[in-house]
Amino acid sequence: MTQSPFHRLLLTGAAGGLGRELRRRLAAHCEVLRLSDVADLGVAAPNEELRPADLADADAVLALLDGVDAVVHMGGVSTEQPWEAILPANIMGAYNLYEAARRNGVRRVVFASSNHVTGFYRQDEVIPAGAPARPDGLYGLSKAFGEDLAQLYFDRHGVETVSLRIGSSFAAPRDRRMLHTWMSFDDLERLVVAALTAADVGHSIICGVSANPHVWWDNTPAAHIGYVPQDSSAPYAAEIERSTPPGDPADPAVIYQGGAFVRQGPGR
Ligand code: 15L
């Protein structure tokens, strides 16, 4: 197991799908794991601190980062939503988090970005891990904002960030698209720990994906932070291809990397 130099780590969004996975996995990488969410966090384990907070509340977020060595920021909205939900959670929330990092002297953030920052690239192209944004909706746009905020806070204030453009992190791939975009929970843990512990990351953009046979992203920069995925969607391919039809080639969800997200968003 990788030894972490962290005394206190903060995990935001700790009650969410990936937050719950990381909650039990990150405890081994720090002395104290501070957990935050607007949703119920349950009962604290011996090395956990529970700190419910609304990311849109600047004072609450400032207090949340007090005494923290590094932040794994999984908090906020994680699907396409109306602007009224995206704005407080993902735009104001990201700003409050970076301001709190600056004011508390926190040196490292691992930011859960998303493949939906680049969802309007086509599925028949391979793009660089840090390709320019082509968001597929307001959710992807808010994650692009978070990445730009990370760049600003590194250039101006020296707060380092690894932005993780996470593909589809679930227990197993659920459809044909996820054969390309899937990341196992074990690889998620490897990626987050690498992002926390790699030296001199500045602001790096890395894709969160397992070693699947056909990935749409050239994830070469992942090696720079020491992320080497161990899992693959290959063992799931035969069953998914047997049980799900190929999809209409004229469907935007089949043409573009963002899948069904490109059919959502404003005006849809
Ligand atoms: C995401 O960013 C979402 O948070 C997640 O729920 C999945 O839908 C994933 O992208 C995906 O693209 O599969």
Summarize pLDDT for 62-71 with one digit per residue, the tens.
Answer: 999 999 999 9
Averaged pLDDT score across all residues of the chain: 96
Which listed residue (95, 139, 153, 256) is catalytic? 139
Question: Is the CB–ligand 1 distance for residue 78 below 6 Å?
Answer: yes
Task: Supply the residue whose CA is at minimum distance from atom 7 of ligand 1.
Answer: 168
Which atom of ligand 1 is closest in space to residue 166's alpha carbon?
A: 2
Q: 161-215, pLDDT tens digit by residue?
A: 999 999 999 999 999 999 999 999 999 999 999 999 999 999 999 999 999 999 9
Which atom of ligand 1 is closest in space to residue 78's alpha carbon?
A: 4
pLDDT surpassing 80 at residue 265: no
pLDDT surpassing 90 at residue 267: no
> Please, where are the H alpha helices in the chain?
17-26, 58-64, 83-86, 93-104, 138-157, 178-181, 185-197, 221-224, 234-243, 252-255
Averaged pLDDT, 254-263: 97
Does the annotation count 139 as an active-site position? Answer: yes
Q: How far is CA 181 from CA 73, 173, 175, 178, 233, in A?
A: 21, 8, 10, 5, 9
Question: Is the CB–ligand 1 distance for residue 79 below 6 Å?
Answer: yes
Q: Rounded to the nearest 5°, which phi and psi values hold at 165?
A: -80, 85
Cα 32 to middle of ligand 1, angstroms:
29
Residue with tokens 């043409």: 255
Q: Please, which pLDDT band fits residue 1 given cuts at 50, 70 and 90?
A: very low
Residue with tokens 């011996």: 46
Q: Please, which pLDDT band fits residue 2 given cuts at 50, 70 and 90?
A: very low
